[in-house]
Amino acid sequence: MRKLPNGLKIGVATASYQIEGGWNAGDKTPSIWDTHCHKEPCPIKDNTSGDDTCNSYKYYKRDLEMIKFLGFDFYRFSISWPRLLPDGFTNKISESGREYYNNLINGLLENNIEPIITLYHWDLPQKLQELGGWSNPLIIDWFGDYAAVAYQLFGDRVKTWITINEPKQIGVFGYGMTRMAPALNISGIADYITAKNMVLAHARAWHIYDKQFRPTQKGTCGITIATDFRVGVSDSHDDVEAGLDAMDFEVGLYSHPIFTSKGGFPERVIKRVAEKSKEQGYSKSRLPEFTDEEIEYAKGTSDFYGFNHYSTKFFTRDTYTPGKHPIPSYDDDIGADFTYLDYEKGAVPHVTVIPHGIRKALKWVKENCNNPPIMITENGFATFGGLEDIDRIFYFRKYLNSIFDAIEIDGCNVTSYTVWSLMDNFEWDSGLSVKFGLFEVDFNDEKKTRKARLSALWFKRLIKTKCLDLEHIPEMK
């Protein structure tokens, strides 16, 4: 038995496109994920989409019941930008969109559950994509304007705001590759252009909150960065360097401009992309530069570090041969391979269970980001289904134990922990077949019936007893 660290809040998360359904309900317009999933042939592994998914647009009251039943302190959900602003701009606020989020927020508060809102969890209005989306620097204005509307409408009741969820997944997988919408496949270019614009758009949303809303609303605002851990596979100089480079491409690209006193992109990334670009005949680096003014504008613009973590990868340069990845590309710029070590694997083959990795990643944030308050905004484990998810319980138990070490031994300032996810939902390119939920969802049933898994009951007990029980496994009633 291990006591939960004092004051650590425990919550659970979802995201709009993954759970809401109602893709064309009311006056909602398509997001880039609607467009992506409706392509022929469908680019999603099991040919599904988020058209209906959990239909939380209709059944959100059931979600409230579930969160309440488990006793979570807070619920992290996201706003669908095109549901609230059907034109993408602030000319028109959707009555039905606004009502949906008001009902959800009020329902949470009535049940004593704190609402935490993510403004952008990947569902950009399609119209803004046609104007270039995150590759157009005007998005700094568009996103700031959208954020201001959300603060204005909901900020009297919502005190924690997350601007952008996981810039890497948006830029590298969406603009650089084809895994995520809008699947542009312009690697080594679009991923870096969007990185800069996302950093500045986040900073804009933070400055607006800080100046115009914080004085009266008195909340906090920050960004969430996917902070999977990367490290060299051995202690050899080359492997250690490969690991440090990989971590800066994975995380530093987004954290360095916002959390360090120096600001701007990390030195390792600047250097590698500049050298490669030169070799490849570009007249200047493919990595855009920040002006001095932009560096100052972005620095210190997050009240907390939003930390998503799933696993760890080990890197080496020994086996890397140029040409392995397209040239130019983000992966070629890193110039290192990851290798699978013999760690326990989850049902989903690429998920390796490496609990000490989360402790190291938290320590990395402490040391490289000015020891910020850290909100763990996502952590979770995928299966292919079943209610008796013992493997998920093992994952949570080991990862939480390692997080508690980070807090109690390493002195990391972790203020909250969030489970991904409340229920099975639309898992992006993997569709509906990969399950992250504490609750199982029957997607074939019109009511999208949700049933508690063993892991849900395990969390209920953890929250109630404020103890991490390192032995007990609940039983299905």
| Active site residues per annotation | 166, 378
Residue type, 238: D
Residue from 4, 10, 12, 15 binding ligand GBH (CB under 6 A)? 15
Least Å distance between CB 228 and ligand GBH? 3
Q: Which of 31, 165, 277, 402 binds ligand GBH (CB under 6 A)?
A: 165
Peptide bond before residue 41 is cis, with ω within 30 degrees of 0: yes
CA distance 72 to 418: 9
> Could you tell me if 316 and 234 are in contact, meaning their C-beta atoms sit under 8 angstroms apart?
yes
Q: What track of x and - describes contact with ligand GBH for positions 199 through 238 (by CB under 6 A)?
A: ---------------------------x-x----------
Main-chain dihedrals φ then ψ at residue 162, nearest 5 degrees: -110, 125
Taking the least distance from each CB to ligand GBH, the nearer of 168 and 317 is 168
Which of 162-170, 180-188, 286-294, 448-456 is the region at the interface with ligand GBH (rule: CB under 6 A)? 162-170
Q: Can residue 310 be called a binding residue for ligand GBH (CB under 6 A)?
A: yes
> Which letter does DSSP use for residue 125 in this model?
B
Q: Which is nearer to ligand GBH, 18 or 80 (CB)?
A: 18
Shortest distance (Å) from residue 294 CB to ligand GBH: 26
DSSP 347: S
The SS3 assignment for 163 reads strand
- Report the residue from 48, 308, 379, 455 that binds ligand GBH according to the rule CB under 6 A: 308
399 binds ligand GBH (CB under 6 A): no
If phi > 0 it is left, if psi is from -120 to 50 it is alpha, else beta; for residue 385 that is left
- CA dist 125 and 144 (Å) reads 15
Residues contacting 345, CB < 8 A, separation 6+: 351, 352, 353
Restricted to residues 341-370, the positions that interact with ligand GBH (CB under 6 A) are none
CB 309 within 8 A of CB 376: yes
From 256, 313, 325, 392, residue interacting with ligand GBH (rule: CB under 6 A): 313
Tokens 């079943």 sit at which residue? 386
Using CB under 6 A as the binding rule, whether residue 258 contacts ligand GBH is answered as: no
Q: Of the candidates 166, 239, 303, 391, which one interacts with ligand GBH according to CB under 6 A?
A: 166
Instruction: Return the number of the residue (126 or 377) whose C-beta is nearest ligand GBH.
Output: 377
Q: Are the C-beta atoms of residues 315 and 239 closer than 8 Å to each other?
A: yes
Answer for which of 286, 427, 456, 474 binds ligand GBH (CB under 6 A) is 427
Q: Which is nearer to ligand GBH, 239 or 427 (CB)?
A: 427
Count of C-beta atoms within a 10 Å radius of residue 110: 10
Residue (353 or 473) nearer to ligand GBH, CB: 353
Fill in the DSSP letter of residue 279.
Answer: H
Q: Which residue is nearest to ligand GBH (CB)?
A: 228
Q: What is the DSSP letter of 423?
A: B
Residues lying near ligand GBH in the complex (CB under 6 A):
15, 18, 165-166, 169, 226, 228, 308, 310-313, 378, 420, 427, 436
